[in-house]
């Protein structure tokens, strides 16, 4: 009888442990799909962006201050998380679809990458219709640099983004650093300021193209801004 009781208690104990482990796993999954553990973004200031050093991707690169990108006509700028990422390529294609309308507004479209590995940037260019520059110090990914590590792979939103991009025909590779999150900026001309700042909160968290275009329409070319004064 004692043996049967011990066996019964053992079975109940194992069952309790199993239920507890299952409950802990469910709680962890639930928390991973909230914003509780996401890296908090810190908004950039115009002064911060202006002072960023960028490089051209030519054989003999030129280093210049980022403010050159938007000084006269403003700019739409994508900080690319990873050129080989199919989610980044999808967002690049979305932004590039706006280029005819941006051209009408006289607003250029640019991208910055944080590294240049083999042909990754070259392979990204069919998806992105603007000029691309190198941000070696990863300043466009700050002021507070944020990362999403492997938690991203248990977030339902990320899996939704994966399927959306795959269904859209996008593919990619695993080359390069892909944990530092990117974003999109719309910056006005001169000192007009940052008109839109979208910080990627998880892999594949795209900016809304409609919001980008609305912000771009608010840009005053430098000549008009001067006349307004």
- Distance, in Å, from the CA atom of 66 to the CA atom of 48, rounded to the nearest integer, reads 10
182 carries an active-site annotation: no
CA distance 105 to 117: 33
Active-site residue (options: 75, 78, 87, 88): 88
Structure tokens at 197: 């700042």
Cα separation, 189 vs 99, in Å, equals: 18
For residue 98, the number of C-alpha atoms closer than 13 Å in the C-beta half-sphere is: 28
Q: From the candidates 69, 79, 80, 85, which is the catalytic residue? A: 85
Which pair of tokens denotes residue 65?
């201050």
**Catalytic annotation present for 85:** yes
The CA distance from 169 to 28, in Å, is 32
Residue 103 CA to residue 209 CA, distance in Å, equals 15
Q: Which residues are marked as active site?
A: 85, 88
């Amino acid at each position: 009888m004692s043996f049967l009781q011990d066996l019964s208690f053992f079975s109940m104990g194992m069952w309790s442990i199993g239920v507890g482990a299952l409950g802990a796993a469910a709680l962890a999954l639930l928390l991973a799909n909230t914003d509780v553990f996401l890296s908090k973004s810190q908004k950039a200031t115009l002064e911060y962006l202006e002072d960023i050093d960028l490089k051209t991707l030519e054989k003999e690169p030129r280093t210049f201050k980022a403010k050159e990108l938007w000084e006269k006509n403003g700019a739409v700028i994508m900080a690319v998380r990873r050129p080989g990422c199919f989610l980044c390529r999808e967002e690049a294609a979305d932004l590039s679809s706006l280029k005819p309308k941006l051209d009408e507004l006289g607003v250029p479209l640019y991208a910055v990458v944080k590294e240049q590995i083999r042909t990754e940037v070259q392979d990204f260019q069919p998806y992105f219709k603007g000029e691309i520059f190198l941000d070696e110090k990863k300043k466009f990914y700050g002021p507070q640099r944020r990362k999403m590590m492997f938690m991203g792979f248990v977030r339902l939103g990320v899996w939704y983004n994966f399927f959306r991009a795959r269904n859209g025909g996008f593919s990619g590779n695993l080359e390069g650093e892909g944990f530092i999150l990117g974003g999109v900026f719309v910056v006005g001309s001169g000192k007009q300021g940052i008109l839109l700042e979208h910080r990627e909160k998880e892999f594949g968290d795209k900016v809304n193209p409609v919001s980008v275009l609305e912000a771009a329409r608010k840009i005053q070319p430098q000549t008009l801004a001067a006349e307004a004064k």
